[in-house]
Structure 1
Amino acid sequence: MFKIYRNLKQFTILIIVGVALMYLSVRANLELPTLMSNIVDKGIIAGDTGYIWKEGGIMLLVSAAGGICAVLASLMASRSALGLGRVLRAKIFTHVENFSLHEFDKFGASTLLTRTTNDVVQVQTSTVLFLTMIANALFTSVGAAFLAYAADPKLTRILYVALPVIAVVIVIAMRLVIPLFGVVQAEIDKITKVVRENLTGIRVIRAFNRIDHEKARFDQANADVTNTYISVNRIMAGLMPLMMLVMNGVTIAIIWFGSERINSGNLTLGPMLAFMQYALQILIAILMLTMLFIQLPRSVAASDRIMAVLETHPEITDAAETRQIDTERGYVAFQDVTFSYDGGEEPALSNISFDAKPGETTAIIGSTGSGKTTLVSLIPRFYEVDSGKVLVDGVDVRELSQEDLRRRIGFVPQKAVLFTGTVADNIRYGKGDATDMEVAHAADVAQAAEFITTMPDGYATMLSEGGLNLSGGQKQRLAMARALVRRPEIYIFDDSFSALDFKTDANLRAALKKETHDATVIIVAQRVGSIMNADRIIVLDEGKVAGIGTHKELMKTCEVYREIVYSQLSEEELA
């Protein structure tokens, strides 16, 4: 957990000032029993009313000063904790942005959301407690112990018995609670996952009447968290009464043995009352530490989960010395590439070799699960190859900076992803400084201008989260416009025409051919009819190249391709 607090060095001055103010507050509180002792012995017993008023006034001033210092110390602690939370969230977000898809697959979106939000809040809470309650408790317990010993050394023996008992109780409780808080955080991840899936998949859930099923899933996840919290609270519910029992026992023991010492003339009433106050301050400080220990296990679990993210080194990083491409052409080559997913028994791709040239269209086709999307994901280096090379203009993509490599690529994913903002903002996502004319041209080529102009505010129309106010075909066309506006050297369309009708598909391909005539175009497709005119067709079968050639060549030489064609087209369509 202490690795987390390395980030607090940015707030060193606030922390030092806060701790100093907390010390002054505790120092003021430690003065009060002594002042009370003097009032009892020299004022009340002696009948000196003036002395009582004088010392009482000093007590009020000391209390007020201590309260002001405590408030200021809490303010400093809160600012430090909030600053730490801001830094942690920024670090997690920035670090996760550098993850390869392997790391995203490893953690999952739901747990990354929980770690960035809920877990950071837990660390913030523990930081406030650490900078206020721990500082207060330590200063109080140490100072009160010395002053209690000074008031009456023999009565301190009572504390020698009470404190070890309290320590044993706390240690046992913490050993039971710490593992449970780790379970709590994992179960919160599960709730986040269920809620996220329900929000994103609400149409499917309603279409298949699975609302009751999803409610049951959520209720189960919710019940798991509740039951674990109940287990934790049962332990803590038993802890607090035990602490109060010890505290009350100490009070009774002090009165019992203190009265005997007063009766024997070895102690006066004032010091005994002062000793009682110091003993109570020590025990209250321990209670404060106990409250911190309630929060600490959860914070430890949260900090471990945060550090697990921050200490995960991205698989894909830029080389120490990156290379530059001298001429920008967009030539793509795969040389004996093999790739496997983590935990996969067999490689997803095996010994893949082909070229994709500028000015040509290279199509990739194959059955579901043959590795088409995986293959095109290797070009922008979303994944790292196991062996072989992926080259862009003769340079291994691992030797290029990720920014330089991806700047040359216009990528349209299988699932169109849009962001909250205007239509123009989403198209301009591909090129931040694109002019309105460039945005409009890209939309026109992508066959999106027609439906954009019918929107209430045209290109200024706001899109809802994920573009839910658009159809699937509209989202695909905006995703294509986003890629087109940057005018890259390499276009990758990963099954990006699936939601288009045949007329729009034909118009879009005709417009694309003119727009991308000097670029390398790689298309992943399911429909044979959409790639028959490609310059080169690569047929994948179970992660291996089953054939490469034109449509006519593959019809003669590739059995896998023929099976795909005959499953989709009739003899009349092939004629």
Structure 2
Amino acid sequence: MLKRFWPYFSKYKKYLIISCLCVVLECMFELIIPLLMADIIDVGVATRDSHYIIVKGVEMIACALIALAMGAIHARCNALAGQGFGAELRKAEFEKLQSFSFSNMDHFSTSSLVTRLTSDITVLQNALGNGIRPMIRGPVMMVTALIMAVILNPSLAIVFLVALPALGICLFLILRRLRPSYGKMQRALDHVNSVVQENLTAIRVVKSYVREGYEKEKFAKVNQEFQKTSGHAFHLAVLNMPCFQLVMYATIIALLWFGGNMVMIGGMQVGKLTGFLSYVLQILNSLMMISNVFMLLTRSMTSAGRILEVMDESPDICDIPGSTLEVQKGDIVFSHVYFKYAPSAKEYVLSDISLHFPAGKVIGIVGGTGAAKSSLVQLIPRLYDISEGSLTIDGHPVNEYPVAHLRDAVGMVLQNNTLFSGTVRENLLWGNEHASEEELAWACHISCADEFINRLPRGLDTDLGQGGVNVSGGQKQRLCIARALLKRPKVLIFDDSTSAVDTATAARIFEGLKESLPDATKIIIAQRVSSIEHADEIVVMENGRVDAVGTHEELFESNGIYQDMVLSQKKGAEL
């Protein structure tokens, strides 16, 4: 699994290698110090040779300073490698998300994707930043110090044959239970993020229904669950310290007992026992580092698995290699189209749809709630792919067009209007980033957005706030229409996009569309019959099927669903 992340180090390999080399050199110089200390005691102090003591002392200081310098270089290079790795991985995962279709996104919750893009990558980043040093230093120090300890006294080193397996067994038992706990903890964090995101997104609804108390209770519940799962995980993790301390102190007591007896009978010098104990402390310290590395790896493996789930998700909608087709007219034909959101779903959302939308015509689509009107038009720019049948534009199946070009040729104003943080101008330029002032003015005039833009404090440069909170629903819809117009698309789709606009303004918008984009195929989903009664053709849908197709007059005479809509709205207008 870890090999999968190696490519994200491509720009930072040199920093990673330098960091590792510095840790090795730091360990080597630190391990020389106990030998020098043993010589000072056994030779310099025993013979009262002050010159020897000073020389060895200077050598110890030099080794310490070199080790310090190596540690400083390691810290610098490790920070560059760790932060760079995190940035590259975050960039790659975000790019992967941009390639997902709606059906891919349905496999993950939004809050889970946010956690995987932030918290899980931070876990890996921290594991790298905090793990390289002990990961290299621990084994190097342990092996080297163990060799030195054996050289000083092979008999006394036998104590490690008991201490090391005991610590290994404890660590294995802890890690076996710890990894599933980390998985539960990250899923609990997903739930916390979900509640927070939902609350902040719908804060106006929460306040209007005075449901702050309910939201507090809901958050307290998921927060308590996160506290419980994380508490259990960290409870298991901290067991590592008492187990290590038990083994460490037992080892030191055994060494002092046996080593003291050896000194008493003359089998070992005091200086060598002091040096041996120094190596013992380094061995035990290295074991602690290694156990901490296992803890980091256990948590990072959980996060790595969650990240790879996103990276391994195959986009459902892909381009045909080498395709250069372009939409020329916008002539759309549905031929016995069936569609369902999930292959495993029992029922189709759309069934046996056969329609022809001629290029340049105005097509109206009406129907009751749940008639699958939005699902129908979302198939045109391949926001979803059809399940059966064929859907062509200008005689070519939609999957033969490059996705980027197809969606650029289809201007779509969705039912849920979305604006982004920034100014009015920045939001409009999403439609055409190179649009001139004249084009901006044209789009705003057709969409009737100029009526309120001219009254804004800074006109087009007025900040809209997050999600366009500084404009009303009707104003937001008109800005979204203007944004779509700037694309000058071959196919223009309005998915109930004038629901928050008054009837007179909606009529002016649709009249302006006919004159300004005469060659574009215009598809209008509407709840108000008045918005589509002058369409060239009207499609009536019911329960995912086409119930009737015709002009306003034809449908009013022959179709009961359309008659009911017209009469109910006429009666409502009279009332």
1:419 and 1:234 mapped to 2: Cα distance?
Answer: 43
1:332 match: 332
Aligned length: 572
2:238 aligned with 1:240: no
- Correspondence for 2:80: 79
Cα separation, partners in 2 of 1:216 and 1:517, compared to 1, 3 Å: same
Give the match for residue 57 of structure 1: 58
* CA displacement at 1:145 relative to structure 2: 1.3
Instruction: Give the secondary structure class of the aligned counterpart of 1:521.
Output: strand
Partner of 1:494: 495
Report the secondary structure of 2:106's partner residue. Answer: helix
Deviates more, 1:116-125 or 1:552-561: 552-561
Residue of structure 2 equivalent to 1:8:
9
What is the CA-CA distance between 1:571 and the residue it aligns to? Answer: 10
Deviation, 1:237, is: 3.1
Deviation at 1:258, TM superposition (A): 0.9
Structure 1 partner of 2:426? 425
Residue of structure 2 in register with 1:570 after alignment:
571
What is residue 200 of structure 1 aligned with on the other side? Answer: 201
SS at match of 2:12: helix
The AA in structure 1 aligned to 2:190 is D
**How far is the alpha carbon of 1:130 from its aligned partner?**
2.9
Give the structure 1 partner of residue 562 of structure 2: 561
Q: Tell me if structure 1 keeps the 8 A contact 2:330–2:360.
A: no
Alignment of 1:159-178 (within 5 A): 159-178=160-179
Query: 1:178-257 to 2 correspondence within 5 Å?
Result: 178-257=179-258
**Take 2:498 and 2:254, find their aligned partners in 1: how far apart are those partners?**
83
Task: Show the counterpart of 2:512.
Answer: 511
Distance 1:236 1:324 in 2: 57
Farther-moved stretch of structure 1 (90-99 vs 295-304): 295-304
Once the two structures are superposed, residues 163-209 of structure 1 have per-residue CA deviations (whole angstroms, 9 ceiling, x without a partner) of: 11111111111111111111111111111111111111000000111
Aligned to 1:397: 398
Deviations 1:551-574 (A, max 9, x none): 22223333333333333333998x
Q: 1:272 matched to which residue of 2?
A: 273
Q: For structure 1, which segment, 499-508 or 459-468, has the greater mean C-alpha deviation from structure 2 after superposition?
A: 499-508
Paired with 1:366 and 1:232, the residues of 2 have a C-alpha distance of 53
Alpha carbons of structure 1 residues 219 and 571: separation in structure 2 relative to 1, 3 Å: closer
Q: Which residue of 2 aligns with 1:526?
A: 527
> Post-superposition shift, 1:448?
0.3
Contact 1:447 1:477 in 2 (8 A): yes
The corresponding residue for 1:109 is 110
Distance 1:340 1:67 in 2: 64
8 Å contact from structure 1 (residues 321, 399) kept in 2: no
1:445 is matched with 446
Deviations 1:489-523 (A, max 9, x none): 11000110100012211222222221222210001
Amino acid at match of 1:274: G
Give, in whole Å, the separation in 1 of the partners of 2:322 and 2:564. Answer: 47
Letter in 2 for 1:296: L
Q: Secondary structure at the match of 2:392?
A: strand
Unaligned stretches of 5+ in structure 2?
none
How far residue 445 of structure 1 moved from its aligned partner, in angstroms, is 0.6
Distance 1:427 1:9 in 2: 38
Shift of 1:80: 0.9
Counterparts of 1:172 and 1:267, CA distance in 2: 38
Comparing 503-512 with 393-402, which one deviates more in the overlay? 503-512
Match of 1:547, SS?
strand
Residues 571/448 of structure 1: CA separation in 2 closer, same or farther (3 Å cut):
closer
SS at match of 2:86: helix
Cα distance in 2 for residues equivalent to 1:25 and 1:337? 69
Q: 3-state SS of the aligned residue for 2:471?
A: coil
1:261 Cα offset (Å): 1.8
CA distance in 2 between partners of 1:447 and 1:197 (Å): 32
Measure how far apart 1:323 and its partner are: 4.4
- Residue-by-residue CA offset, 1:409-450 (whole Å, 9 max, x unaligned): 111111111111211111111011100110011001100001
TM superposition score normalised by structure 2:
0.97
Q: Which amino acid aligns with 2:263?
A: I
TM-score w.r.t. the length of structure 1 is: 0.97
Find the residue that maps to 1:473 and give its secondary structure: helix
Contact 1:4-1:307 at 8 Å conserved across structures: no
Taking the aligned partners of 2:572 and 2:153, their CA distance within structure 1 comes to 107
Q: CA deviation at 1:293?
A: 2.7
**Distance in structure 1 (CA, Å) of the matches to 2:310 and 2:160:** 44
Deviation at 1:249, TM superposition (A): 1.2
Which residue identity is paired with 2:142?
A: S
1:357 Cα offset (Å): 1.5
* Structure 1 residue matching 2:346: 3-state secondary structure: coil
Q: Could you tell me how far apart the structure 2 residues matched to 1:550 and 1:161 are?
A: 91
Q: What secondary structure does 1:107 align onto? A: coil
**What displacement does 1:38 show?**
0.6
How many Å apart are 1:383 and its aligned residue?
Answer: 0.7
Q: Return 5+ residue gaps in structure 1 as ranges.
A: none
The alignment-based identity, stated in percent, is 34
Question: CA deviation digits over 1:213-270, x for unaligned, max 9?
Answer: 1111111111111111211222233321221121111111111111122223222112
Helix, strand or coil at the partner of 2:506: helix
Q: CA deviation at 1:97?
A: 0.3
Residue in 1 that maps onto 2:467:
466
Aligned-pair CA distance for 1:404: 1.4
Q: Which moved more, 1:533-542 or 1:336-345?
A: 336-345
Residue 162 of structure 2 aligns with an amino acid whose one-letter code is: V
Cα root mean square deviation, aligned: 1.5
**1:200 to 1:357, Cα distance in 2 relative to 1, 3 A:** same
Moved more, 287-296 or 176-185: 287-296
Alpha-carbon separation, structure 1, partners of 2:109 and 2:378:
18
**Taking structure 1 as reference, are residues 26 and 167 closer, same or farther at Cα in structure 2, changes over 3 Å only?**
same
Asked if the contact 2:19–2:73 (Cα under 8 Å) also holds between the matched residues in 1, the reply is yes
Deviation per CA, 1:303-331, whole angstroms, max 9, x where unpaired?
11111101111000101231424x72111
Letter in 2 for 1:228: T
Q: In the superposition, relative to structure 1, how do residues 330 and 285 fare at CA in structure 2: closer, same or farther (>3 Å)?
A: same
CA distance in 1, matches of 2:206, 2:290: 48
Kindly indicate whether the alpha-carbon contact (under 8 Å) linking 1:32 and 1:62 is maintained by their aligned counterparts in 2: yes
CA distance in 2, matches of 1:547, 1:560: 9
Residues of 2 paired with 1:337 and 1:307: CA distance? 35
Q: Secondary structure at the match of 2:467?
A: helix
Deviation of 1:45 after TM superposition, in Å, equals: 2.5
Code of the residue aligned with 1:334 in structure 2: it is: F
CA distance in 1, matches of 2:229, 2:400: 49
Code of the aligned partner of 2:348: P
Give the C-alpha shift of residue 294 in structure 1: 2.7
Q: SS at 1:421's partner residue?
A: coil
> Per-residue deviation at 1:546?
1.0
- In 1: Cα distance, 2:459 partner to 2:321 partner: 46
**Kept in 1: contact 2:412–2:494 (CA 8 A):** yes
Letter in 1 for 2:28: R
In 1, distance between residues paired with 2:566 and 2:41? 103
Match of residue 288 from structure 2: 287
